[in-house]
Amino acid sequence: MMAGSVSIAGTGERIGRGLPIEAAVHEVVRDALAGAGLSLSAIDMVVTVGSDVLDGGMVGTRSGIAGAYGRELLTVPSSAGHAFATAVSMLDSGQAGTVLLAGWGEGTKFAALDGRIIQADPFYARPLGADASAIAALQAQRLLADGRMSLERLTEYGAAMRMRADLADDKTAGMQEWLAPNWSDGACALVLAAGSGAVRVVDFGTAFRPYCPDPADLDPAVWVREAVERIGHTFDEDLAAVEAGGPSALCEVAALAPILDSAGWRPLDPRVNATGGGAMAFFGPATGLRHIIAVADALADTSGSGIAIDLAGPIGQATTVVALQGAKQ
């Protein structure tokens, strides 16, 4: 268990379709630094996440815009949760005193061409058409068939989240709206610092499954429980905010179950996914940073705790649970 010696000092985010990403990265970094009351020269290390198959070539360019020139840079070719964990570990281990974490994604490209099938096994999955939408549909059908999820709950949750995200009129190319990501563009930045601050990082836990897990193991609730067990902290009494960011509403509502059941909250509680969830503005692997920021914002000037669940991969199988706490006495 971590000692809780890392704090979120500043944040910035830009979300929207057609976002000019280079400008957005610059703006969110500027916002995060301003929130932390720091200049770029005070940053020891830059950690970036946003390398997907469609913008991998831009990692270097955007990392430079984020402030990586002349300082240590870690580009994490993985999920937001993984990148956040990397940044926290750098601070917790004393390898840096301040870390600028920046992530971005151009999800609108995926609406035209979802390249994630490249992740699928070239012998046994890719030739069969195991694209991300098909794997997500297998997950959905299995959860529904097992009685772990109901169409009524999914429909209610999906509609409510779309309203929160102000996407009520959007269509999802004929797919079930609770199954399809609502592709967006986005950039997020956080300044993390060793020592105390307004919101401290309590701990994080992870769970991971392959591109197409075993059919008996397709429930994100199981992965979240596994990740939570790695966090030596309980949240029953002071829980104030919960966010889950994943590629589909189905995956989010399933993942939320263990936390909400423990707290006695309903999925439509206003303290849950105030942003509308990740599926409503999905910009790829970095999406989870937005939800960490949302929880941090909710906890500022409070003493409450909060949880951000990052669900990356086609069905949320790269799961990271981040626990935060407001530091107000």
Return the number of the residue (212 or 293) whose C-beta is nearest other proteins.
Answer: 212
Contact 50, 285 (CB under 8 A): yes
Residue 307, number of CB atoms within 10 A of its CB: 27
Residue 207 beta carbon to other proteins: minimum distance, rounded to whole angstroms: 20
Contact 28, 49 (CB under 8 A): no
115 interacts with other proteins by CB under 8 A? no
Residue of the chain from 45, 47, 73, 136 that contacts other proteins (CB under 8 A): 136
Residue 21, number of CB atoms within 10 A of its CB: 21
3-state SS record for 77-132: CCCHHHHHHHHHHHHHCCCCCEEEEEEEEEHHHHHHCCHHHHHCCCCCCHHHCCCH
Residue of the chain from 175, 198, 274, 300 that contacts other proteins (CB under 8 A): 175
Residue 271, number of CB atoms within 10 A of its CB: 16
Cα separation of 283 and 288, whole Å?
Answer: 9
Which residues face 241 on adjacent strands? 306
Residue 174 beta carbon to other proteins: minimum distance, rounded to whole angstroms: 7
9 interacts with other proteins by CB under 8 A? no
Q: Which stretch binds other proteins (CB under 8 A): 28-36, 137-145, 153-161, 189-197?
A: 137-145
18 interacts with other proteins by CB under 8 A? no
Q: Which stretch binds other proteins (CB under 8 A): 45-53, 125-133, 187-195, 319-327?
A: 125-133
Q: Which stretch binds other proteins (CB under 8 A): 42-50, 87-95, 168-176, 321-329?
A: 168-176
Q: Of residues 49-68, which lie at the interface with other proteins (CB under 8 A)? A: none
Residue of the chain from 46, 59, 179, 289 that contacts other proteins (CB under 8 A): 179
In what side-by-side order are the strands of the sheet with 305-312? 72-76, 45-49, 98-106, 185-194, 6-16, 199-208, 318-326, 305-312, 239-245
138 interacts with other proteins by CB under 8 A? yes
Residue 271 beta carbon to other proteins: minimum distance, rounded to whole angstroms: 31
300 interacts with other proteins by CB under 8 A? no
130 interacts with other proteins by CB under 8 A? yes
At residue 89's C-alpha, the angle toward residues 85 and 91, to 5°, is 125
Which residues face 272 on adjacent strands? 242
Which residues face 186 on adjacent strands? 15, 105
Pairing of strands 98-106, 45-49: parallel
Residue of the chain from 3, 18, 39, 123 that contacts other proteins (CB under 8 A): 123
170 interacts with other proteins by CB under 8 A? no
Return the number of the residue (39 or 123) whose C-beta is nearest other proteins.
Answer: 123
Q: Of residues 202-261, which lie at the interface with other proteins (CB under 8 A)? A: 212, 214-215, 218
At residue 72's C-alpha, the angle toward residues 68 and 74, to 5°, is 80
Judged by CB under 8 A, the number of residues near other proteins is 30
Return the number of the residue (90 or 140) whose C-beta is nearest other proteins.
Answer: 140
Residue of the chain from 61, 95, 141, 196 that contacts other proteins (CB under 8 A): 141
Q: Which residues bind other proteins (CB under 8 A)?
A: 114, 122-125, 127-131, 133-142, 145, 173-176, 179, 212, 214-215, 218
